[in-house]
Chain A
Amino acid sequence: MSSFELQAENISKVFGRRLIFKDVDFSCKDNGIYGISGPNGSGKSTFLKIISGVISPTKGKVIHLFGGKAIESEDLHNYIGFVAPYVILYDEFSAVENIRFFSKIRGVNFTKEKLDFLFQHFGLLDRKDDLVKGYSSGMKQRLKFIFALIHSPKILFFDEPTSNLDNSGKEKVYQTVKEESQKNIVIIASNEDSDLAICSSVLELQDYKKTNN
């Protein structure tokens, strides 16, 4: 198990005058699959970005702990993996170039075996040297999982993880989620029943949409 812990307390987010959610508490520890659901516009993606440290909440605090020690925000990116429709990879590079550049920027090493294993697992091995520009939306989605997993993160955030994927792609994702959840934390934001069915607990964001008073 990863001994990673995420604590989010009294999280509120306001965009302009619009309250997205108010006083949301969320915590998870060590490993497992956690779900976040809510109708369109309920703030699932915003909440995921906040608890992953990408954006700041209007109110409340998010703490990431590893081995009992708080992780500095400067280092947080190396502990998290993130897959979402709005994560865009560089079109002008090939799939493998994208992954190689990202790993060098992160300052992490990966073996060719691991790279090939992930490309094989997500069915992109024979297209790994093609430019991302020529990928279909489903192939881009598969590549995002390789992007999220190559540095062996301790916590994974998946926003609509099965969007654009065919049935075999969805199976690969569910298999990956189950495997990763054995040792790491996986958080899924989705409206798909099949995505939420594999979660041990689900946070319903609509419940936190109170008035801004």
Chain B
Amino acid sequence: MSAYALFKKDLASELRTRYAINSLVMFIVVTISVILFSIGNEKISDFLSGGLFWVVIFFSAMSGLSRAFVSEEERGTTLTLQLIASPTTIFSGKLLFNLILVFAMNIVVALLYSALFDAFVIKNLSLFLYAFILGNVGIAIASTLIASIIAKASSKGTLYPVLSFPILLPLMLTLIDLTKQAMDTTTFSSSYVELAILGCYDVVMIAASFMLFDFIWKD
């Protein structure tokens, strides 16, 4: 319940300050526009469009998800949070906020992308949805943990994508592979291993996050 209350506080704060939403929307629009302009009249392959989809999502996540902790640090309210809630509550609340933000952001990206790119045609929608859901959960957990680490650093803007890249790389590679399979085939049989990798990634990240967050948060 406390984590949900923290999520509601963050949501109310976000709706008033538009701290993350504005930068996310601008980033999505600019990135998709740049890809559209750079392609021009060229015909790109289906698989390339699938790969670019996750590139847009990766960089959009990098522009908005760090806000969960960076905004608290910049406003000086980190200590206030420490005084009202346990580290577990804080991480759960922030993770819930980032989960909602990631899903909202990625649904918008997916809709825009499928409307604007003719080559982006998913044949196996249920496989794509499984990958999409597990992938979004993984992105949200990893981004929240990395945001808590970089919040106290002086060069947050640069550090966030740099630190995220190696941590999100296995997730992104698996997601690109699964998207390719969802565009290529209508069966599940060849995708179980990749789906299991996504599931394991999410479980490992959530376990590592709750174990590490106490140390990150206190010092």
**By the criterion CB–CB under 8 Å, are B218 and A56 in contact?**
yes
Known: A93-B13, A105-B2. 13 other contacts (CB 8 A): A56-B219, A73-B86, A77-B83, A88-B75, A89-B80, A90-B9, A90-B80, A91-B75, A92-B16, A93-B12, A101-B5, A101-B9, A106-B2
Residue A1 interfacial (CB < 8 Å) = no
Q: A92-B17, A101-B5, A104-B8 are in contact. Are A87 and B86 (CB under 8 A)?
A: no
Task: Please report which residues of chain B, range 46-78, place their CB below 8 angstroms from some CB of chain A when the two chains form the complex.
Answer: 75-77
**Which residue of A77, A88, A89 is within 8 Å of B85 (Cβ)?**
A77
| Distance of A82 Cα from B82 Cα, bound (Å) | 11
**By the criterion CB–CB under 8 Å, are A87 and B83 in contact?**
yes
Residue A55 interfacial (CB < 8 Å) = yes
**By the criterion CB–CB under 8 Å, are A107 and B75 in contact?**
no
Q: A56-B218, A56-B219 are in contact. Are A87 and B80 (CB under 8 A)?
A: yes
**By the criterion CB–CB under 8 Å, are B83 and A90 in contact?**
no
| Distance of A74 Cα from B90 Cα, bound (Å) | 11
Jot down 19 A-B pairs with beta carbons below 8 A, ordered by A.
A55-B219, A86-B76, A87-B83, A88-B80, A89-B77, A90-B9, A90-B13, A91-B75, A92-B13, A101-B12, A102-B80, A102-B84, A104-B5, A104-B9, A105-B2, A105-B89, A105-B93, A107-B5, A147-B80
Residue B198 interfacial (CB < 8 Å) = no
Residues of B within 8 A of A (CB): 1-2, 5-6, 8-9, 12-13, 16-17, 75-77, 79-80, 82-89, 93, 218-219
The 3 closest A-B pairs by CB, nearest first: A104-B5, A88-B76, A74-B86
Task: Please report which residues of chain A, range 135-152, place their CB below 8 angstroms from some CB of chain B when the two chains form the complex.
Answer: 147
| Distance of A84 Cα from B9 Cα, bound (Å) | 22
| Distance of A59 Cα from B6 Cα, bound (Å) | 32
Residue A113 interfacial (CB < 8 Å) = no
Residues 156-187 of A, flagged 1 when their CB comes within 8 A of B and 0 if not, give: 00000000000000000000000000000000
Residue A75 interfacial (CB < 8 Å) = yes
**By the criterion CB–CB under 8 Å, are A105 and B83 in contact?**
no
**By the criterion CB–CB under 8 Å, are A105 and B6 in contact?**
yes
**By the criterion CB–CB under 8 Å, are A77 and B84 in contact?**
yes
A-chain residues with CB within 8 Å of residue B17 when the two chains form the complex: 92
Q: A97 — nearest CB in chain B belongs to which residue?
A: B12
Q: A107 — nearest CB in chain B belongs to which residue?
A: B2
With both chains docked as a complex, state the minimum distance between the C-beta of A90 and any C-beta of chain B, in angstroms: 6
